[in-house]
Amino acid sequence: MKRLYTTDIRDADEGEEVALRGWVHEIRDLGGILFLLLRDREGIAQITLVKKKTSEELMNTVRGLSRESVIWVKGKVKQEDKAPMGYEVIPQDIVVLNIAESPLPLDPTEKVRADLDTRLDARFMDTRTRRGMAIFRIRHHMLQATREFLSEEGFIEITTPKIVASATEGGTALFPLSYFDKEAFLNQSPQLFKQLMMAGGFEKVFEIGPIFRAEEHDTRRHLNEATSIDIEQSFVDHNDVMEVLERLVSHVYERVAQDAQRWLDVLGVKLTVPEVPFQRLTYDEALDIASKVEPELCWGDDLTTQSEKTIGAEVGEHYFIVDWPTDAKPYYAMPHEHKPEISKSFDLMHPRMELASGTQRIHQHALLKERIASKGLEPESFEFYLRAFRYGMPPHAGWGLGAERLLMTMLELDNIRECVLFPRDRRRLSP
């Protein structure tokens, strides 16, 4: 007897015995016939019980089931065009593995749509809906395609500490914690550690891992714990890693469209693979566009949410903003040799929001120490980092890409919290 997922059953299984396990999605009692819809992670199967052909005990077992109870069904496959998967299962035995309480926290059939807070409070049940399952199955394919691409490009996956002694980029957006007899922090970024691996001779590294920002945002696109896709590469400049980034995004779209089409169909999303190369706007050009609706913006200012929307509406596709003012970027951003007020930096933009940020890094010890001090930071606090620059640090560049933002824009979702199983923001610490 085969133990299958609902989508594994084929025409060739006609008359074969199969075993299905899953949840009671719905029960339709028409008197002389019972339809039990069993749902597993892949789909829905129709279990058909005809009164004249089924034992009374089995009929009563099904009538006594509550929705979302967990069951095991053994039966024979029969083709049925009107059934959800084009077949039905005529049960020989049904074992109740766990009875679900009523009422349910939300409706997994989605006939009654729950609001986002209700869904997040009962995430274990929200992912039983086809929409909830689809988002995270696509996320799986997105991250799988990312690892595949970067590995094929020669990058080595690393894991860096999430508990650190000092801020990555300075500032106050840190979550402090007690680390034995010391104060420590949750890491804002793997930035310093991936740069250390350039000194370590790895040449090309990537990491997919959590980052933590103690910023009191309350928007649809910010999280306090997010997943960052980071790379660092030696013997290149910012233009080289921009090219890696745009090809990665295009590859991810292509692979998700190829490997996750049925989940995209659940969401009603039709992906268009972005063409490379992406358009490049200088910071000055971007500021000129934004100034049409925000004339108060000055050179050196960061771009506002409204600015990003204005520029995105004009460009209409993925694009880069390059050549940012040096003072607008972190201390490790390399200034242009003949125009030091401009840095070798970039942001990757979707028309809706920023997705990634990167730079060529400063690899000279004296200049890096000077830039740290210019930001009002104490170079002594970065000694573990600066030390590596004294013993042969190659030129290098890199970027960090927000995984949730990439998924959110790809799937046209309204709120970034939909992209995280258990989101953390200023109000949500549980579940």
pLDDT tens for each residue of 76-101: 999 998 998 899 999 999 999 999 99
Distance CA 11, CA 348 (A): 47
In this structure, are strands 176-179 and 204-212 parallel, antiparallel, or unpaired? unpaired
Catalytic residue among 119, 128, 137, 221: 221
Catalytic residue among 25, 137, 222, 350: 222
Closest C-alpha among 57, 60, 62 to residue 47: 62
What lies within 8 Å, CB to CB, of 194 at 6+ separation is: 158, 160, 205, 207, 230, 231, 232, 398
Catalytic residue among 213, 247, 336, 428: 213
* The pLDDT value given to residue 217: 87
* The pLDDT value given to residue 166: 77
Distance CA 361, CA 398 (A): 8
Q: Give how far Cα 75 sits from Cα of 1, 7, 17, 62, Å.
A: 9, 16, 5, 14
Q: Give how far Cα 368 sits from Cα of 24, 232, 236, 361, Å.
A: 61, 17, 18, 9
pLDDT beyond 70 at 172 = no
Closest C-alpha among 67, 68, 72 to residue 47: 72
**Can you say which residues are annotated as belonging to the binding site?**
169, 213-215, 221-223, 354, 357, 361, 402-405
Q: Is 378 a catalytic residue?
A: no
Q: Is 220 a catalytic residue?
A: no
Q: Is 246 a catalytic residue?
A: no
**Can you say which residues are annotated as belonging to the binding site for Mg(2+)?**
354, 357
pLDDT beyond 70 at 171 = no
Q: Is 213 a catalytic residue?
A: yes
Dihedrals phi, psi of 341, to nearest 5 degrees: -75, -10
SS3 of residue 98 by DSSP? strand
What's the pLDDT tens digit per position in 376-426? 999 998 999 999 999 999 999 999 999 999 999 999 999 999 999 999 999
**Can you say which residues are annotated as belonging to the binding site for L-aspartate?**
169, 213, 357, 361
**Can you say which residues are annotated as belonging to the binding site for ATP?**
213-215, 221-223, 354, 402-405
What is the chain's alpha carbon radius of gyration, rounded to the nearest angstrom? 27
Output the CATH code of domain 124-278+317-419: 3.30.930.10
> Residue type for 33, please?
I
Q: Is 215 a catalytic residue?
A: yes
CATH T-level topology, domain 2-98: OB fold (Dihydrolipoamide Acetyltransferase, E2P) (2.40.50)
Distance CA 158, CA 201 (A): 13
Catalytic residue among 255, 357, 371, 418: 357
Q: Is 405 a catalytic residue?
A: yes
Catalytic residue among 66, 294, 354, 424: 354
Domain boundaries, the chain: 2-98, 124-278+317-419
Q: What is the dihedral of CA 118, 123, 128, 129, to 10 degrees?
A: 40
Closest C-alpha among 90, 97, 112, 82 to residue 23: 97
Average pLDDT over residues 96-120: 97
Distance CA 72, CA 334 (A): 61
First CA to last CA across the chain, in angstroms? 39
Q: Write down the mean pLDDT value for the chain.
A: 95
Distance CA 201, CA 339 (A): 30
